[in-house]
Amino acid sequence: MNEATKQRIRTMLPLLNERQRRLFPASEAKALGFGGISDVSRISAVFRVTITGGLKELEDTGTVVPGDSRCRRPGGGRKSIKEHYPGIIHELKELLEPYTKGDPENPLQYTSRSTRNIERALRGKGFSVSDTAIAALLKV
């Protein structure tokens, strides 16, 4: 692989969105021919599986839509915690009620439980949620 190709890959990758980060390395690997996927993967730090998926996407003309602003197919991406566990807010309020301080009329309230303790309690009730996700839920 020549220096111009390496420089082009290193320059372009930070500027691309998710879909383009699949398609650009795939097109570079295709242009390089045999061993291109490995070379581009090594230079760009993009996984071989991602480049292979990009190659399949390039070959399937129905998948690549010029001018389409979406990076993912509709419904793609991780579901929100509230969507994944519909009853989590109710459980969270129930767990925190005895430990909550402050004026109930005021939106700002305090709890003496740490997010890690809340995480353990929720795991005991069948919810698999991280302490950072709990912190995000408490801010809302």
β-sheet bridge partners, residue 101? 110
Q: Which are the contacts of 95, defined by CB distance < 8 A and separation ≥ 6? A: 113, 118, 121, 122
Question: Model-level pTM greater than 0.85?
Answer: no
β-sheet bridge partners, residue 111? 100
Q: How confident is the model over 17-72, as pLDDT tens digits?
A: 888 888 999 999 999 999 999 999 999 989 999 999 999 988 886 555 556 666 66
Q: Which are the contacts of 24, defined by CB distance < 8 A and separation ≥ 6? A: 9, 12, 13, 16, 54
Q: How confident is the model over 115-128, as pLDDT tens digits?
A: 999 999 999 999 99
110 membership: H or E segment, kind and range: strand 110-111
Q: Which are the contacts of 5, defined by CB distance < 8 A and separation ≥ 6? A: 28, 32, 43
* Domain coordinates in residue numbering, the chain: 3-59, 81-139
